[in-house]
Amino acid sequence: MKNLASPSLSKLSLLLQMETTTKQPKKKKWVLPLVISLILSSLVVITSFFTPKGFIPFYQPTPVTPKPVFIESKLKPASLRVNPVPRIAYLISGSTGDGESLKRTLRALYHPLNQYVVHLDLEASPTERLELVNFVRSDPVFVELGNVRVIVHANLVTYRGPTMVSNTLHAAAILLKEGGDWDWFINLSASDYPLVTQDDFLHTLSTIPRHLNFIEHTSDIGWKESQRARPVIIDPGLYSSKKSDVFWASEQRNIPTAFKLFTGSAWMMLSRPFIEFCIWGWDNLPRTVLMYYANFLSSPEGYFHTVICNVEEFRNTTVNHDLHFISWDTPPKQHPHFLTNDDFQRMVESNSPFARKFGHNEAVLDKIDTELLGRAAHGFVPSGWLKVNNGVNTNTSISDYTIGNVTDLRPGEGAERIQQLIKVQCFQLRDTRTAHSRRYFYVSATVLRGDVVDWVEATTSFFEQDSRPIMLFDGVCNLCNGGVKFVRDNDRKRNIRFEALQSESGKKLLQRSGRAPDDISSVVLVEKERSYIKSEAVLKIMEYLDLPFPQLALFLQFVPLFLWNFMYDNVADNRYTVFGRSESCEL
């Protein structure tokens, strides 16, 4: 029996071995191609989403006649001018009793390359407005060069209502129609005064990109939501010939959802392409926002800011500064102090090209004329364009002069001060509409504010002993505090430091990053050489964490940045409503 079983068992074992050896090669033949095909097909699908022509370079699809698109998508901002020396279009406006101040400001700002519109509103008497017209029409320089215009049909302007915005748009339209080629538009009042010569100013502006818009702005409207955005006001200046205060409707309105509200300073320097968009805009947003701000208290502090920050073509052209030195009252900073000789040194140290608010014939104006502008009473600021005849000093009298080379700029110390204020040549603004592009805020390009000379220099101590990046977060936001805890738990090497946006250190680091000190709308990661905001900051923070977050951040960078920022903005805008506030900061 043993002998009979043994051959049977050996045959069965042999058959099993043969079956095993014959099946294994078959398995190897189909598993490996399947894995490879899955990987390749995944790559093709992924690249088809994020590249215009897909993964296969030699594949050229058959051209298809494009479907009709909205006309707005075919219209773009006008091309920039190529004048070697930039030209400024100024609006100088005033009200009753401002006639002499307006004339003085005009002379201090005058340069033949620039264009000027001056306006005294309807509250000024007909005599005062007529004196301004005669002043412009009788000045031989203005007559010869023809670059000063008076708004004869005066508007009624109230700062608290929308009439100031209407007046600004009116002046901009005149300058677009009659002012020839100019590069930037600046709105000033008779209470403003320059701290540098126009030679200084134009010389400095000739070195920076002309698409930039200098407009102080923030999306954190704070108390203005309840006191300005929700109330509905009516400005009688829109339909009355006499100035009176605004009155309030009994009902309130919701915060807009069709666009995001921004607020900031009412004084700004705007590029010509953006002004053309506001006046001739192919998109209806400028008109829609204008209608909304018709019932908004202090609309000059929000209209242009909201338009520019809601338009893709312009939102990345903003520099968060209004080019002014202003001595504000205590919060909420709504009423500027009148400047005196006591403020002179702070004005100079601010490096700002303009200052406000000045009283009529204030003594400090004489000091500015003498020490900063080199201008005597009733004269122009000395420059290469104004030549002296027969030994006559044209700085004190314009009865004997000739107009020389208008492009002969003679910058002085004022140009050096502005260059300290504006280091725009270090900006790297990239088109955020592409999938892999990024917008970096280089700290060396920070636009400095107030009476601080250099925010980069002022915050060097943060990185002298410790070069680790600093994460700035909203200290009273439950979601943000949770994010800080998450980062701490997943950062065993302690690569990241933390600081609340609301702290004094946080405000300084915000300004180092080119943002307003009260802007708590985004998390910010501040490195020694640059700063990141919104979703870019989140992705960069992930690179500093423990595994697998750096690898995950690398993979997520393939998603277009505008999609990340869209999701980020929606979460940030509703973070208090959904997650609530905390009484104390995580730190």
For residues 5 and 255, the model is more confident at 255
Q: Please report the beta strands in 126-252, taking only residues with DSSP state E, as ranges in sequence order.
A: 148-150, 184-189, 193-194, 213-214, 217-218, 231-234, 247-252
Do 502 and 475 meet the contact criterion of CB atoms below 8 Å apart? yes
- Give CB contacts under 8 A, 24+ apart, made by 286-291: 288/258, 288/259, 289/259, 290/162, 290/165, 290/169
> What pLDDT sits at residue 260?
93
Do 318 and 343 meet the contact criterion of CB atoms below 8 Å apart? no
**Burial category of 122 from C-beta neighbours within 10 Å (exposed 0-12, middle 13-18, buried 19 and up):** buried
First to last CA, the chain: 86
| Residue 474 confidence class, pLDDT cut points 50, 70, 90 | confident
Tens digit of each residue's pLDDT (9 = 90 or more) over 390-419: 544 445 445 556 777 888 899 999 999 998
Residue 273 confidence (pLDDT) above 60: yes
Rounded to whole angstroms, the Cα distance separating 60 from 552 reads: 33
Rounded to whole angstroms, the Cα distance separating 573 from 13 reads: 73
Tens digit of each residue's pLDDT (9 = 90 or more) over 294-341: 999 989 999 999 999 999 889 888 888 999 999 987 655 567 899 999
Rounded to whole angstroms, the Cα distance separating 482 from 484 reads: 5
Q: Please report the beta strands in 176-314, taking only residues with DSSP state E, as ranges in sequence order.
A: 184-189, 193-194, 213-214, 217-218, 231-234, 247-252, 263-264, 269-271
Report the 10 Å Cβ neighbour count for 167: 24
Tens digit of each residue's pLDDT (9 = 90 or more) over 135-186: 999 999 999 999 999 998 888 888 788 999 999 999 999 999 999 999 999 9
Place of tokens 């010569």: 197
What single-letter DSSP state applies at residue 241?
S
Mean pLDDT of 225-245: 87
> What pLDDT sits at residue 79?
61
> DSSP for 183-197?
SEEEEEETT-EESS-
Do 489 and 544 meet the contact criterion of CB atoms below 8 Å apart? no
Tens digit of each residue's pLDDT (9 = 90 or more) over 552-578: 888 888 888 777 788 888 888 888 888
The chain-wide mean pLDDT, for the chain, equals 80
3-state secondary structure of 271: strand
From residue 340, alpha-carbon distances to 108, 366, 370, 506 in Å are 18, 11, 15, 32
Q: Residue 258: name the closest of 232, 281, 287, 289 by CA.
A: 289
Domain layout of the chain by residue ranges = 88-385, 424-579
> What pLDDT sits at residue 245?
83
> What pLDDT sits at residue 159?
76
| Percent of the chain whose predicted confidence (pLDDT) is above 90 | 42
Return all residues near 507 (Cβ < 8 A) that are at least 6 apart.
Answer: 501, 517, 518
Token code pair at residue 180: 């020839």
Mean pLDDT of 334-358: 92
Out of 51-60, 107-116, 558-567, the most confident range is 107-116
Rounded to whole angstroms, the Cα distance separating 147 from 128 reads: 21
